[in-house]
Amino acid sequence: MSVDSVKRPPSGPRAELKRQAILRAARELFLREGFGVGMDSIAAEAGVSKVTVYNHFGSKEALFTSVITSALDEPLAGESSAALEGLADAGDLRAALVEAARTWVHAVRANHEVTALRNLVAAELHRFPELGEAWRHRGTEGHHPAVAGALRTLADQGRLVIPDLQVAVIQFYGLLVFPHVVFSSYGTQIDEDLTDRLITGGVDMFLAHYGTQST
């Protein structure tokens, strides 16, 4: 009998499959029912014994944390910040901005799941304050640099005049992304047509204020 009472999580190929199945199920049920969902339901949905769930994750809170942090790695960083990179070389800045914004907003809208997870984290802030912070880092502060960098570059090129970068970044979000975030937190969505008008209108407005003749 080993004195070592620490329960290591299972390893091996078989265990990894179960782990993924549990994460998938937990994510889906947390999204559908909130944190209040029972561990039995999650185990059942994953097609796995409850004991296995506990062997892997140790507690409900740990499972929730794993679901969130695993979701933190996947999403929109790729396409959307890539779209921002190309801005500096674009001939037609307006068209390029519209295109970038379109990519970005569609990434946000397409991921029902990620947006819904954001709401879930917000809902459980009092139970998991550290998750709120983690999400804030990856989300807002994670993209700030990309947006800020793109805007600064354009300003350095003389194609934009931006006296207050911090404000400009938030305005960029406010015009393009926040409407979708806010509406989704009510459980509704902005329809396709209005989304499109918001994008072109937002870019127009942004350029009307910050653009120069060389735009």
Partner DNA sequence: TCACTTGAACTCAACAGTTCAGTTCAGTGG
Partner DNA sequence: CCACTGAACTGAACTGTTGAGTTCAAGTGA
Nearer Cβ to DNA (89/130): 130
Which span (38-46, 93-101, 166-174, 198-206) binds DNA, by CB under 7 A?
A: 38-46
The verdict on 36 binding DNA (CB under 7 A) reads: yes
How far separated are the first and last CA of the chain, in Å rounded?
A: 75
| Nearest by Cα to 203 from 87, 97, 89 | 97
Which span (7-15, 135-143, 183-191, 193-201) binds DNA, by CB under 7 A?
A: 7-15
Specify whether the CB–CB gap between 186 and 200 falls below 8 A.
no
Write down the least CB distance from residue 115 to DNA, Å: 24
Residues with Cβ within 8 Å of 15's Cβ and at least 6 positions away in sequence, in order, are 9, 56
Q: Is 180 helix (H, G, I), strand (E, B) or coil?
A: helix
Residues 30-49 as x/- pattern, contact with a copy of itself by CB under 8 A:
--xxx---------------
Write down the least CB distance from residue 49 to DNA, Å: 4
Angle between helices 112-123 and 129-136 (to 10 degrees): 140
- DSSP class of residue 162 equals -
Which of a copy of itself, DNA, none sits in contact with 2, Cβ below 5 to 8 A by type?
Answer: none
Amino acid identity at 75: P
Measured CA to CA, the distance from residue 157 to residue 151 in angstroms comes to 10
Residues with Cβ within 8 Å of 41's Cβ and at least 6 positions away in sequence, in order, are 29, 33
Nearer Cβ to a copy of itself (54/173): 173
Nearer Cβ to DNA (36/91): 36
Residue list 42-101, contact with DNA (CB under 7 A): 47-52, 54-56, 59-61
Burial (Cβ within 10 Å: 0-12, 13-18, ≥19) of residue 176 = buried
Q: What does the binding site for DNA look like in residue numbers (CB under 7 A)?
A: 8, 10-15, 18, 36-40, 47-52, 54-56, 59-61
Q: What does the binding site for a copy of itself look like in residue numbers (CB under 8 A)?
A: 32-34, 119, 122-127, 129, 132, 135-136, 140, 164, 166-168, 170-171, 173-175, 178-179, 181-182, 185-188, 194, 197-198, 201-202, 204-206, 208-209
